[in-house]
Structure 1
Amino acid sequence: MHNHKAHGPHGHHDYSHEVMGDILEQEGALHRGFNADAAAWLSGLITVPVARVLDAGSGPGLAACVLAEAFPDAEVTALDPQDGLLARAAARAERLGLGGRFRTHRAELPGGVDGLDPVDLAWSSRALHHVGDQQAAVDALAATLRPGGVLAVVEGGLPPRCLPRDLGLGTPGLEARMDAAAQDWFSDMRTDLPETAAAVEDWTGMITKAGLTPAGTKTFLADLPAPLSAEDRRFVHTRLTMTRDQLADALLPEDKATLETLLDPDSPHGVLHRRDVFFLHALTVHTGRKE
Structure 2
Amino acid sequence: MAHDHHHDHHERDHAHHHDHTDSDWAGMAPLLEAQAELFTPLYTQAIEWLGAQVPEPELVVDAGSGPGVVSCLFADAFPGARVVAVDGAAPLLERARARAARLGVADRFGTLAGDLPGVLDELDHPADLLWASKSLHHLGDQRSALAAFAGHLAPGGTLAILEGGLLARFLPRDIGIGRPGLQARLHAVEEDFFTGMRESLPGSVAETEDWPALLTAAGLKHTGTRSFLLDLPAPLPAEARDYVVATLSRLREKAADSLDPVDRATLDRLLDPGDEASVHRRPDVFVLLAHTVHTAVRPA
TM-score under structure 1 length normalisation: 0.94
Q: Residue in 1 aligned with 2:8?
A: 5
CA RMSD of aligned residues (A): 1.9
The one of 92, 102, 109 aligned to 1:85? 92
Distance 1:10 1:102 in 2: 25
Does the Cα contact within 8 Å between 1:30 and 1:222 map onto a contact in 2?
Answer: no
Q: Deviations over 1:69-123 (max 9, x none)?
A: 1111111111111111111111111111111111111111121211312111000
Kindly, what percent of the aligned residue pairs are identical? 47
Aligned residues: 290
Are residues 1:122 and 2:130 paired? Answer: yes
User: How far 1:249 moved relative to its partner?
Assistant: 2.2
Does the Cα contact within 8 Å between 2:156 and 2:298 map onto a contact in 1?
Answer: yes
Unaligned runs of 5+ in 1: none
Q: Residue in 1 aligned with 2:220?
A: 212
Does the Cα contact within 8 Å between 1:82 and 1:106 map onto a contact in 2?
Answer: yes
SS of the aligned residue for 1:79 comes to: strand
SS of the aligned residue for 2:75 comes to: helix
SS of the aligned residue for 1:114 comes to: helix
Q: Deviations over 1:33-57 (max 9, x none)?
A: 111000001001125x311000001
Distance 2:135 2:263 in 1: 29
Within-5 A mapping of 1:7-156: 7-8=10-11, 10=13, 16-46=24-54, 49-116=56-123, 117-156=125-164
Are residues 1:261 and 2:264 paired? Answer: no
Q: Which one-letter code corresponds to 2:284 in the other structure? A: D
Distance 2:31 2:255 in 1: 17
Q: Deviations over 1:14-44 (max 9, x none)?
A: 7922332123223213311111000001001
Unaligned runs of 5+ in 2: none
SS of the aligned residue for 2:164 comes to: coil
Q: Which one-letter code corresponds to 1:38 in the other structure? A: A
The one of 201, 213, 230 aligned to 2:238? 230
Are residues 1:243 and 2:246 paired? Answer: no
User: How far 1:288 moved relative to its partner?
Assistant: 0.2
Distance 2:102 2:64 in 1: 21
Distance 2:256 2:101 in 1: 39
Segment drifting more, 116-125 vs 235-244: 235-244
SS of the aligned residue for 1:264 comes to: coil
Q: Which one-letter code corresponds to 1:66 in the other structure? A: L
- Rate the CA distance shift 1:74–1:152 in 2: closer, same or farther, 3 A: same
Q: Residue in 2 aligned with 1:183?
A: 191
Does the Cα contact within 8 Å between 1:56 and 1:122 map onto a contact in 2?
Answer: yes
Does the Cα contact within 8 Å between 2:47 and 2:77 map onto a contact in 1?
Answer: yes
Does the Cα contact within 8 Å between 2:10 and 2:247 map onto a contact in 1?
Answer: no
- Rate the CA distance shift 1:248–1:30 in 2: closer, same or farther, 3 A: farther
Distance 1:3 1:227 in 2: 29
Distance 2:216 2:118 in 1: 20
Q: Which one-letter code corresponds to 2:74 in the other structure? A: L
Does the Cα contact within 8 Å between 2:215 and 2:222 map onto a contact in 1?
Answer: yes
Runs of 4+ in 1 over 3 A off after TM superposition: 1-4, 7-15
- Structure showing greater relative contact order (alpha-carbon pairs closer than 8 Å, 6 or more residues apart): 1
SS of the aligned residue for 2:86 comes to: strand
User: How far 1:163 moved relative to its partner?
Assistant: 0.9
User: How far 1:4 moved relative to its partner?
Assistant: 3.2
